[in-house]
Structure formats: structure tokens, C-alpha cells
């Protein structure tokens, strides 16, 4: 555990050194949030969102790309140097396959998110080739998630769900669509939550600290090494992402981190704990989903605006208050999830 904490400090230091020059580069290439009339997935205008977030125009996006790059490089170096660092390499699964799945998820969903960031920032959506509709991007998420779920099932042999008080449930082949759903759900949940300064990144740190405790308790150094590096990078990023934000994760970070958070929970064999520990992400995506379904099926809204953090903002809550209270709620949900996991 001491060595893992050292890796947290290492990734924190590296991101801290690189982030300011990276922000300057983003300004230079104008990779910033653009003034635009946003629309939901049904191509309906969202003027309330535009009004509440008008002051964020010009803030650089794509901070997740730096985190993905640094964590991937450090992880590949660390996982091969673990024996020389005095860490006994222990894992539940074949460590090379576990590494492949983590890195593939991290990078593939990151690339999908990078496409969206490029499209929004540089106006590629105006052209026929780049202007893919939401349904096709959603399909791409499902294709990637199904492939990752199949890797978990076939390469690592995971087909169970540990449900507290109901023992272990063996899903067999149904594990693949179940795991794919979890991955897609959390990828979009983190993406939806990345709307207020420091919200998504802070919630992620809290979730990952809980996962680090869980992975360390089962001596899975392959996963705990990755999570430790990821935590350090996110804490450094949070310094520049809290209100008023100097940089955003962007879709490149939000989609990647959400999907990888889900995979981490699946590797631990506790997706129910994932839903509790990541409870605020569940609240965020659920409020958006209910709103969209209501608009589609009933022709009217449930909330004035969604997700819930935007609704609170509309009600007059200061942005910093919403974020800090969401963090506190996430801390208690993480404690509850850990308690149920070890109960």
C-alpha cells in the first residue's frame, strides 16, 4: 500500500508540472468551449443550459486527454517495474489480460470522446461526414462496451455478480449484455455530470478512493496500481477544474473515465457496490433519462431542466454549493458502499 501511495504522488506531480503548459497549448490552438446554441439528443434547443453556462465560453476543454496519456504511460512503466519497486505482483486474473482490458477501455472511449470534442470545438458537425447523429455515437458506445464485456467474460472468465445478502449470482452468457449496459451507463453518467466546475472530477476521486481500498483488500495490485495513478492525476487536475475552472475534462475524459470506472467495478466483481459508491452519477444520469423519456413519450418535461445539478442551478443554488454538497453526498455513499462490501 505504501508503494501505491507513492504512485499517487508521482502522477500528481507529473500532471501538476504538465497541466499549465497544456492549458496554454489549448488556448493557442483555440481548443475551447465555443459559443453555440446547444441541443439535446432529439435536436431540441436547450436555452436554459445556454443561459446558465454562458460565462463558461472560452474555457479550454480536453483536459482528460492529458490525464489519459500520462496515466497510460506511467501505468505501463509501473506495472512492468512492480517487482523492482518491492511490490509483490498479485492479482485475481491473469495480469496481462487485466492490463489490456483497462488500457483498451481507457483509450477507446477516450478516442470516441475526442471525436465529440473536435466536432463541437471546430464545427465539424456542419459537414456530412463529421455530423454523426447521437444514435450512431450511442451505437459506437455499445459496440465498444460489448467488446469490453466480452473480453471480461471470455478472457478473464467473469460471469458473476456479487449481490450483498443474496450471495453470488451467476449470469452466464447474460453477463455480456449486463456488463455492456453498466459500461455505457457510467460513461454517459460521468459525461452528463461534467457540467459544473469540479463536479465530475471530484466525484470520480471519491469513487476511486473507495475502489482503491477494495482492490487493495483483495491484493489486486494490477488494478490498485492503475487506480492509484489515476487518483493522483485527477487530484492535480481538480486544482485547475474547481470553480472557476481553468480547464474541463471534455468528452475525451468524461466518456473514458466513466467507462473505466465501470470496468473497475466489474473487475472487483461488485457492480452493485459500483452503483452505490457512484450514486451521484446514477442520480445525474437517471434525472436526464427520465426527462428525455418524458419528453419523447408524454410530450412534456418532468423537470424544468435536467440533469439535477442544472435544475438546482436554475433554482438559484450557487455552483460551488451544488458541487460541494454533491461531493459530501458521494462521500457518504462511498462509505455505505464500502460498508456493504465488507459487511
Spatial distance between the Cα atoms of 265 and 217, rounded to a whole number of angstroms:
14
Spatial distance between the Cα atoms of 320 and 197, rounded to a whole number of angstroms:
8
User: Residue 54 carries which DSSP code?
Assistant: G
User: Residue 168 carries which DSSP code?
Assistant: E
191 marked among binding-site residues: yes
Task: Provide the CB-side half-sphere exposure for 36 (13 A, CA).
Answer: 14
Best CA proximity match to 161, nearest among 257, 273, 264:
273
Contact (CB, 8 A) for 66 and 18: yes
Best CA proximity match to 340, nearest among 282, 285, 268:
268
Spatial distance between the Cα atoms of 338 and 320, rounded to a whole number of angstroms:
27
Cell of 132: 454523426
Helix (H, G, I), strand (E, B) or coil at 286: helix
Binding-site positions: 191, 251
Binding-site positions for Mg(2+): 191, 251
Amino acid at each position: 500500500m505504501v508503494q501505491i501511495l507513492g504512485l499517487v504522488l508521482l502522477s500528481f506531480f507529473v500532471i501538476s508540472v504538465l497541466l499549465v503548459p497544456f492549458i496554454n497549448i489549448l488556448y493557442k490552438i483555440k481548443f475551447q468551449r465555443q459559443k453555440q446554441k446547444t441541443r439535446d439528443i432529439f435536436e431540441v434547443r436547450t436555452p436554459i443550459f445556454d443561459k446558465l453556462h454562458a460565462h463558461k465560453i472560452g474555457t479550454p476543454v480536453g483536459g482528460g486527454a492529458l490525464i489519459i496519456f500520462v496515466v497510460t504511460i506511467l501505468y505501463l512503466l509501473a506495472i512492468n517495474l512492480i517487482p523492482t519497486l518491492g511490490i509483490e505482483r498479485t492479482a485475481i486474473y491473469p495480469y496481462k489480460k487485466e492490463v489490456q482490458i483497462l488500457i483498451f477501455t481507457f483509450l477507446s472511449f477516450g478516442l470516441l470522446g475526442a471525436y465529440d470534442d473536435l466536432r463541437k470545438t471546430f464545427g465539424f458537425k456542419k459537414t456530412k461526414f463529421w455530423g454523426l447523429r447521437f444514435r450512431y455515437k450511442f451505437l459506437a458506445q455499445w459496440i465498444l462496451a460489448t467488446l469490453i464485456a466480452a473480453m471480461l467474460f471470455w478472457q478473464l472468465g467473469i460471469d458473476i455478480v456479487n449481490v450483498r445478502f443474496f450471495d453470488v449470482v451467476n449470469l452466464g452468457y447474460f453477463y455480456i449484455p449486463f456488463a455492456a449496459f453498466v459500461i455505457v451507463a457510467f460513461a454517459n453518467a460521468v459525461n452528463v455530470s461534467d457540467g459544473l466546475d469540479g463536479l465530475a472530477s471530484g466525484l470520480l476521486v471519491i469513487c476511486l478512493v473507495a475502489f482503491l481500498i477494495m482492490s487493495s483488500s483483495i491484493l489486486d495490485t494490477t488494478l490498485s496500481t492503475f487506480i492509484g495513478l489515476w487518483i493522483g492525476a485527477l487530484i492535480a487536475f481538480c486544482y485547475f477544474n474547481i470553480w472557476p475552472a481553468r480547464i474541463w475534462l471534455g468528452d475525451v475524459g468524461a466518456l473514458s473515465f466513466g467507462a473505466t470506472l465501470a470496468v473497475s467495478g466489474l473487475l472487483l466483481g461488485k457492480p452493485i457496490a459500483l452503483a452505490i459508491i457512484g450514486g451521484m452519477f446514477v442520480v445525474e444520469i437517471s434525472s436526464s433519462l427520465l426527462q428525455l423519456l418524458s419528453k419523447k413519450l408524454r410530450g412534456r418535461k418532468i423537470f424544468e431542466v435536467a440533469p439535477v445539478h442544472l435544475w438546482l442551478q436554475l433554482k438559484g443554488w450557487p455552483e460551488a454549493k451544488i458541487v460541494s454538497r454533491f461531493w459530501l453526498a458521494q462521500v457518504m455513499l462511498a462509505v455505505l458502499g464500502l460498508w456493504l462490501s465488507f459487511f
